Amino acid sequence: MASRQGLLVKPFSLMLYNLALLRWRGQERLMLYHWALLRWSGQERLMLYHWALLRWKGQERLMLYHWALLRWSGQERLMLYHWALLRWRGQECLMLYHWALLRWRGQERLILYHWALLRWRGQEHLMLYHWALLRWRGQERLMLYHWALLRWKGQERLMLQGWALL
Q: 0.85 exceeded by the pTM? A: no
**Per-domain boundaries in the chain:** 2-140
Give me the percent of the chain exceeding a pLDDT of 90.
0
Q: What is the number of other CB atoms lying within 10 angstroms of the CB of residue 115?
A: 14
For 29-82, the pLDDT digits (tens) are: 333 333 333 333 333 333 333 333 333 333 333 333 333 333 333 333 333 333
